[in-house]
Structure 1
Amino acid sequence: MYSLSPSHTMKRYDWKRILRTNIIKLKIVGLWPSGDDSYKPNIYTLWAISSITFLNFGHNFFQMVNMIFIFDNLHAVIKTTYVTLSEVAGLLKAYYVVRNMKTLKELMVILSSDTFQPKNARQIKMVKPSFFFWRVNYVMYWLMSGGAIFFWSVYPILDKSVKEYPLPFLAWYPWYTKASPMYELTYLYQIFGLLFIAITAISVDTLIAALNVYIGAQFDILCDDIKHLFDPGSPSEGFNGKLIDIIKHHREIIRFAANTNKFANWIVLAQFFTSAVTIGITLFQMTVVVPFSSEFFSCLSFTFSMTVEIFMYCWFGNEVEVKSSNVVYTVFESNWLDTSMEVKKNMMFFVMRCQKPVKMSALDLFYLSLDTFMRILRTAWSYFALLHQVSSR
């Protein structure tokens, strides 16, 4: 018998399984309290405050202070800026995760609800390709970022310049870093600070991308429910009740998308701005360092990781718009013309609600789309051309 509710014999689908690794990483850096609650006065909250303050904020602070002393050195400023901008974006991501923790936990609860459960094996098979593509981007993002972190961490050693006591990043500290053991301790501090910021930034980026995948998957399930609602052989009684369930499901998806957008608004805006500037500066930096050196490969890996980062935002945001716009067309694919007048009225009411596709945006200034992705790359190239021209003069 046809039913819009999950079959009692069907195993419950765990939507959060794909985010298991992400959540573990967020827990490590203090950005995911246990359970479905937000932060409480306990040891984990103390760890969150300590890690964000001393590793995320502290690492950024010492690099930004150093820019006061090197402001008249264009090359040094550029060398510091392209890293510092992305690290500041990572700090903002940590702040907005903490600020919107209650919203995030509510989204996780909604994912586990009966409304969002697939109804049959066909629907599970339907949503798997999107999650597979998310995993491909996830792995590529971590590989590229891991390469950049590795080369940043070891390039002073690989370039055989340890006698000069160089650090991976230009920064000012209120202690002398040109002698042991403060040099080694500061070196380790920069590496740990970089790791924590990288884990924070990558985990938040992939979390937002996964939330967009969830929204797209729910629209896929909704379209499948509509398409097969009036299939031959389905009982005619209860059509109206099933249609009301579909309308409620659509309303929950819209609410889920709105809360996701609310959480990601400022993060996406900051990321789009910093990505354009950072990619442009990193491309320029690759032209002034020694070719095929460890510093060159760190810039190369970093450029690829930033490109994958904004691609994830734009691709999966674009998928939400495409899949939400499919709902209206799916309605006309279903066989509802021979139903009762009440069902037809409700169906037309539903069509009116679905006229406007869901668009993920950054404060309604930029939409997450492939067109935005190309515009960011063009802007990055413009920054590179400008810096190259200024440097040549």
Structure 2
Amino acid sequence: MSLLFDESLKSIQFLFKYVGIYLDRTILNTAEHLIKFRSLYIINFLWLNTDVIGEILWLIQGALHGKSLIELTYIAPCTTICMLANIKSLSLLLNQDKVKQLFKQLRNMENINIGDEEVKKKMVAEGKKYLRAVIKALSVINAVTLILFSVSPILFMGLEYKKSGQVELVLPFLIVYPFNSYDIKYWPFVYMHQVWSAYLVVTQVAGTDCLFYTCCTSICTQFRLLQNDIETIIPERNFDENVFREKFKKLAVRHEGIMQSVIQLESIYAKSTLFNFVTSSFLICLTGFNVTALGDIGFMLSFLSFLLMSLMQIYLLCFYGDMIMTSSMEVSNAVYNSKWYTVNAKAAKHLYVVQMRARKPSKLTAFSYADVNLKSFTKILSTAWSYFALLKTMESPTRA
């Protein structure tokens, strides 16, 4: 049986291939290894952040020179998601040892042969199926967003040429360069530069998120398998306390290992998740505002797909965090559903300890600022709506 984790990791490694991030490889602090395995990431990092700096400069100049609210909010979400991509990718690189340790923990847990093999196959298959569907849906939305932002300027130029007979050069993003980027000598290079930067952003955000979903799916599957084994730990007849004790020790060790993997996952993602939470309200608000404010259908569609991508990204982050909490607490129900009432007091006490521990959920947090669950998602939406209403109020006097 192929491991859920390893099978899903293959597609994630493909996402990171051209970014220069190697998840499952030992990289030594030697000149040879750093050049071989870090040079591509460094090149892409510098490539992307030249555009990020240019976007920030454009925002500063635009604010100083009285650019319209629509123009300022056009580039602000793009700058924000670029910074998010940087933080997410750096969080993996800076926690490389923790990532490798987490991979080892998840593989070891999936390799344990305990319980009904058919049940294990069924649960793992369900996890694979759902995870595959999520990654495919996310990939489609990300691809559509990238294509729309890359192609809409060309379509705009074509329509403008058809109307006026003149070619007006347009770029996907508003960025300041130390040269005239609308000069035909530089425009093709700048255009491709911005498109590749957009690809890097989408890939880094999607790649780190898909890894998060994969780890959460693997952990939740282990919690469910543990629940099944706890429910069936006491046989219908012929209870043997020695056999029970041996099984219980193994289950207790597994339970502790799964909870430790949650702690390890949080230590990797906590800081980037905090930034994700703080910026998501702005992203959703600004992209929603652009959808309603931009007059051009091409750019409106681009930001509509951007809005869907932002909503799905933060929703799935909270959804999988909620799954971790729920599946960890359901271990308590599994103890209750076992035949604890048929055993002696000593065995029942062991089960009671597990039940009490499981009532305290294993959870992921945004660097202890907030729990990663669906309640946090509703708060983010509420905050985004408040910002959106404020922007619409600010826009009305300008139009009047």
Q: TM-score, normalised by structure 2?
A: 0.89
CA contact (8 A) 1:116 1:218 kept: no
Whole-angstrom distance in 2 between the partners of 1:12 and 1:203: 21
2:133 maps to: 136
Whole-angstrom distance in 1 between the partners of 2:202 and 2:59: 21
- In the TM superposition, residue 377 of structure 1 has moved relative to its aligned partner by 1.5
- In the TM superposition, residue 234 of structure 1 has moved relative to its aligned partner by 7.5
1:386 maps to: 390
Decide which of 218, 229, 232 is 1:214's aligned counterpart: 218
Distance 1:290 1:134, change over 3 A: same
- In the TM superposition, residue 124 of structure 1 has moved relative to its aligned partner by 2.4
CA contact (8 A) 1:12 1:117 kept: no
Decide which of 131, 148, 155 is 2:145's aligned counterpart: 148
SS at match of 2:340: coil
Decide which of 23, 37, 43 is 2:13's aligned counterpart: 23
Whole-angstrom distance in 2 between the partners of 1:145 and 1:77: 23
One-letter identity of the residue aligned with 1:156:
P
Decide which of 244, 249, 268 is 1:239's aligned counterpart: 244
One-letter identity of the residue aligned with 2:96:
M
2:272 maps to: 267
1:4 maps to: none
Decide which of 38, 59, 63 is 2:55's aligned counterpart: 63
CA deviations 1:257-313 (Å, max 9, x no partner) are 00101111111111122221111111111122125x211110111111111111111
CA contact (8 A) 1:130 1:213 kept: yes
Whole-angstrom distance in 2 between the partners of 1:238 and 1:299: 61
Corresponding pairs, count: 381
Whole-angstrom distance in 1 between the partners of 2:332 and 2:365: 22
Decide which of 199, 202, 210 is 2:203's aligned counterpart: 199
Whole-angstrom distance in 2 between the partners of 1:178 and 1:302: 25
Unaligned runs of 5+ in 2: 162-166
2:51 matches 1:47: no
Decide which of 167, 170, 187 is 2:191's aligned counterpart: 187
1:374 maps to: 378
Whole-angstrom distance in 2 between the partners of 1:95 and 1:209: 18
- In the TM superposition, residue 25 of structure 1 has moved relative to its aligned partner by 1.4
Which stretches of structure 1, 4 residues or longer, exceed 4 Å deviation after superposition?
36-39
CA contact (8 A) 2:27 2:34 kept: no
The structure carrying a bigger helix percent of its residues is 2
- In the TM superposition, residue 180 of structure 1 has moved relative to its aligned partner by 2.5
Whole-angstrom distance in 1 between the partners of 2:342 and 2:385: 57
Unaligned runs of 5+ in 1: 1-10
1:93 maps to: 88
1:75-86 alignment runs, 5 A limit = 75-86=70-81
Q: Percent identity?
A: 22
Distance 1:65 1:158, change over 3 A: same
2:25 maps to: 35
Whole-angstrom distance in 2 between the partners of 1:172 and 1:285: 21
Distance 1:114 1:359, change over 3 A: closer
Distance 1:53 1:118, change over 3 A: farther
Whole-angstrom distance in 1 between the partners of 2:28 and 2:85: 20
- In the TM superposition, residue 349 of structure 1 has moved relative to its aligned partner by 2.8
Distance 1:124 1:298, change over 3 A: same
Distance 1:232 1:13, change over 3 A: farther
CA contact (8 A) 2:220 2:324 kept: yes
**Deviates further, 127-136 or 146-155:** 127-136
- In the TM superposition, residue 114 of structure 1 has moved relative to its aligned partner by 5.0
One-letter identity of the residue aligned with 1:218:
Q
Whole-angstrom distance in 2 between the partners of 1:93 and 1:12: 28
Whole-angstrom distance in 1 between the partners of 2:15 and 2:5: 18
Distance 1:297 1:114, change over 3 A: closer
Decide which of 284, 288, 299 is 2:289's aligned counterpart: 284
- In the TM superposition, residue 18 of structure 1 has moved relative to its aligned partner by 1.5
Distance 1:363 1:190, change over 3 A: same
Whole-angstrom distance in 2 between the partners of 1:38 and 1:304: 40
SS at match of 1:349: helix
**Deviates further, 176-185 or 192-201:** 176-185
CA contact (8 A) 2:154 2:170 kept: no
One-letter identity of the residue aligned with 1:49:
I
- In the TM superposition, residue 60 of structure 1 has moved relative to its aligned partner by 1.4
Whole-angstrom distance in 2 between the partners of 1:373 and 1:33: 28
Whole-angstrom distance in 1 between the partners of 2:358 and 2:71: 53
CA contact (8 A) 2:324 2:362 kept: yes
| Alignment RMSD | 2.1
SS at match of 1:32: coil
One-letter identity of the residue aligned with 1:348:
Y
- In the TM superposition, residue 342 of structure 1 has moved relative to its aligned partner by 4.2
- In the TM superposition, residue 153 of structure 1 has moved relative to its aligned partner by 0.7
